[in-house]
């Protein structure tokens, strides 16, 4: 299955998807970044994957930016859009255009800690358990139906950095696994609140 991957930064999830692509029946048609300095772009180039940078400063609205994004995605062909550390909020225009075809990975056990700085917020809230969620993207930020979660224990000695490393390790396993469910057509978004795996509501 052809997919486009959107990134903004380091791209360690992108790397784990590239490394698993053959095994999970995924063909990455291109990688798109809103940040020209994203290290993930270098990772894509090293794997001979075509890259595009869309500079937000060249667009006078979020809608105009997302129209350009849609145009590049459609030129390259994609049945699946994978958000892998993409730090821009997608417009309703984009989300409805690709309804049921966008996956995101978020570094918390949603619905806990949507948004940014999830690791520090989990530590500050004296959580004992933290983790990662993969979900379908809908108009609600970090609010689409959950598909899969993995948890990690927060130790007293954990800092934002050590916790983020623990969670990232889990991310690199869980995301390719869920993407494989999608490429095998086992996973479907039914509506803004419901997703199914093998025909059963998750």
Tokens 């993407």: give the residue.
179
Interaction between residue 105 and ligand GRF (CB under 6 A): yes
Those residues whose C-beta lies under 8 Å from the C-beta of residue 135, and which sit 6 or more positions away, are: 103, 104, 106, 110, 142, 144, 145, 146, 147
Stretch that binds ligand GRF, among 41-49, 88-96, 99-107, 151-159 (CB under 6 A): 99-107
Does residue 106 have an active-site annotation?
Answer: yes
Q: Is 107 in the site for ligand GRF (CB under 6 A)?
A: yes
- 84 binds ligand GRF per the rule CB under 6 A: yes
Compute the least distance from the CB of residue 71 to ligand GRF, in Å: 24
**Looking at beta carbons only, is 13 or 20 nearer to ligand GRF?**
13
Rank residues 13 and 51 by Cβ distance to ligand GRF and give the closer one.
13
Burial status of residue 157 (CB atoms within 10 A of its CB: 0-12, 13-18, 19 or more): exposed
140 burial level (CB within 10 Å; 0-12, 13-18, 19+): exposed
What residues contact 82, with CB distance under 8 A and at least 6 apart? 3, 4, 5, 6, 17, 102, 103, 175, 179
Task: Give residue 199's region: left, alpha or beta (phi > 0; psi -120 to 50).
Answer: left
Nearer to ligand GRF, 149 or 196 (CB): 149
Q: Looking only at residues 167 through 196 of this chain, which bind ligand GRF when binding is defined by CB under 6 A?
A: 168, 171
> Cα torsion for 81, 83, 89, 93, to the nearest 10°?
0
For ligand GRF, give the closer residue by CB, 9 or 176: 9
Full DSSP string of 65-107: HHHHHHHHHHHH--SEEEESS--SPPPHHHHHHTTT-EEEEES
The answer to whether 142 contacts ligand GRF (rule: CB under 6 A) is: no
Position 9 contacts ligand GRF (CB under 6 A): yes
Note whether 103 binds ligand GRF by CB under 6 A: no
Q: Does 12 bind ligand GRF (CB under 6 A)?
A: yes
Stretch of 21-29, 56-64, 104-112, 190-198 contacting ligand GRF, by CB under 6 A: 104-112
- Least spacing, CB of residue 198 vs ligand GRF, in Å: 25
Provide the binding-site residues for ligand GRF, judged by CB under 6 A: 9-14, 40, 84-85, 105-107, 168, 171
Question: What residues are annotated to the active site?
Answer: 106
């Amino acid at each position: 299955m052809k997919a486009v991957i959107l990134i903004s930064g380091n791209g360690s999830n992108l790397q784990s998807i590239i490394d698993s692509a053959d095994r999970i029946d995924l063909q990455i048609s291109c990688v798109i970044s809103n940040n020209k300095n994203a290290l993930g772009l270098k990772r894509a180039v090293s794997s001979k994957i075509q890259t595009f940078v869309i500079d937000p400063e060249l667009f006078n609205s979020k809608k105009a930016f997302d129209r350009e994004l849609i145009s590049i995605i459609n030129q390259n062909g994609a049945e699946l859009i994978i958000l892998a550390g993409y730090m821009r909020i997608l417009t309703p225009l984009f989300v409805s255009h690709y309804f049921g075809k966008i996956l995101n990975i978020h570094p918390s056990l949603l619905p806990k800690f949507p948004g940014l700085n999830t690791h520090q917020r989990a530590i500050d809230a004296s959580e004992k358990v933290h983790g990662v969620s993969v979900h379908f993207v809908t108009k609600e930020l970090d609010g689409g139906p959950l598909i899969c979660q993995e948890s990690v224990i927060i130790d007293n000695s954990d800092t934002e950095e050590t916790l983020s490393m623990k969670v990232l390790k889990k991310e690199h396993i869980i995301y390719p696994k869920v993407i494989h469910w999608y490429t095998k057509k086992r996973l479907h978004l039914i509506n803004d609140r419901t997703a199914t795996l093998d025909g059963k509501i998750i």
